[in-house]
Chains A and B, each alone.
Chain A
């Protein structure tokens, strides 16, 4: 795999995690527990969708560079690839569940996302650095919000505590993948382009511990991590949940290829 293909793959990882989570959050439109939360959750989704477009646009340009000028558009990349071509983390494709599950998923991702974008602001690739700097400002706000909810539900009623604890327990097995580094990322880390995900594990855990402590939640332990050993979402190996989600997300472009608003 040459440098440009490696970079393309890495950009898809960034774009796809943002896009898939945006789609999941979009499923709350009209179904939020209260109107304000409906709006807030979908606004976070909107930020992530905007960020995914920045990554996709760059990925398409990189692809044009190694594919005789034929780089795919944002829409083609988002709507015309199948599950095995998606490079998102398995965590973000997990179903919404109740609001505790949605917020637990969001919190795990947000803390990682913020740390990882902060690392990318120092990327040797100027385009990656500027997208990361833009996205970081938005994501910092996402982290505050999901941390607030983890505390509010964890340290809330008996029932909200029970649900929040169940949610963080159920999703824990998908968090290990965020810190996995494979050959693609290693090559880009060596080139100063990618952020070394392995170095994010300790600061991520420190933040999770601090918030869980305030939320009176127990940090899960001794759980097998899905996606270990280079067989996870970043390599195109997904859970069963991504297929139905993509079917819903992509049906319009599949039925009417090239349709435009």
Chain B
């Protein structure tokens, strides 16, 4: 594929070829899923002779955001695309609903409980403040007897849980 892209620098590489190149970039903090599967690559277009890639941040303070932009720039340069422009788009805000289904399966295999559907955790009661505990199956043994240890885990997008059956702590990718 790399050869195909390099060979195409005379003409403009097709958009699907560029998407394929971007799909090969792993997330810097969760390398089992790609940036495209994470849902942060929102658009890839040629604007006249300039390639414009539009990214959206996951969390506004996530330190990986700048690494992601740098990784995309490096991948495009590696594919022989010069002068590409990377734009940031905030709206609509990123949601875990955009994570590809196959990537959610891989997250679980990697030991991170994948995010459930957002609507389930947005059912809130008094004054819109208290939440209902989402049911988070243990990614190791599958038990649903798990509990939250902390509302944040190793990255802003995760919480820390523990399985009450196999007793293993694990990260939970929060529905967002």
Q: Chain A interface (Cβ within 8 Å of chain B)?
A: 36-37, 39-40, 43-44, 46-51, 53-54, 111, 129-131, 133-135, 137-138, 141, 143-145, 147-148, 206-207, 210-211, 214
Which of A141, A206, A207, A210 is within 8 Å of B151, CB to CB?
A: A141
Contact check, B152 vs A40: say whether CB atoms are below 8 A apart: yes
Contact check, A47 vs B61: say whether CB atoms are below 8 A apart: yes
Which of B62, B90, B150, B160 is within 8 Å of A54, CB to CB?
A: B90
Contact check, A211 vs B150: say whether CB atoms are below 8 A apart: no
Q: Give CA–CA (A250, B126) in the complex, Å.
A: 41
Q: Give CA–CA (A148, B130) in the complex, Å.
A: 8
From DSSP, what is the main secondary structure of chain B's interface residues?
loop
Q: Among residues 96 to 138 in chain B, which have CB atoms less than 8 Å away from a CB atom of chain A?
A: 126-131
Known A43-B156, A210-B126: A50·B61 in contact at CB below 8 Å:
yes
Known A50-B59, A210-B129: A130·B156 in contact at CB below 8 Å:
no
Q: Give CA–CA (A141, B153) in the complex, Å.
A: 14
Known A43-B156, A144-B129, A210-B126: A51·B93 in contact at CB below 8 Å:
no
Q: Which residue of B lies closest to A37 (CB)?
A: B150
Q: How far is the CB of A132 from chain B (nearest CB, A)?
A: 10
Residues of A within 8 A of B149 (CB): 36
Residues of A within 8 A of B176 (CB): 137, 141
Q: Give CA–CA (A47, B58) in the complex, Å.
A: 11
Known A145-B151, A207-B127: A51·B90 in contact at CB below 8 Å:
no
Residues of B within 8 A of A144 (CB): 129-131, 151
Residues of A within 8 A of B127 (CB): 206-207, 210-211
Instruction: Among A50, A54, A135, A206, find the residue whose CB has the most chain B CB atoms closer than 10 A.
Output: A50
**CB of B91 closer than 8 Å to a CB of A:** yes
Known A37-B150, A54-B90, A137-B93: A47·B130 in contact at CB below 8 Å:
no
Known A40-B151, A47-B156, A147-B130: A130·B91 in contact at CB below 8 Å:
yes
Q: Give CA–CA (A207, B130) in the complex, Å.
A: 10
Residues of A within 8 A of B154 (CB): 39
Q: How far is the CB of A111 from chain B (nearest CB, A)?
A: 7
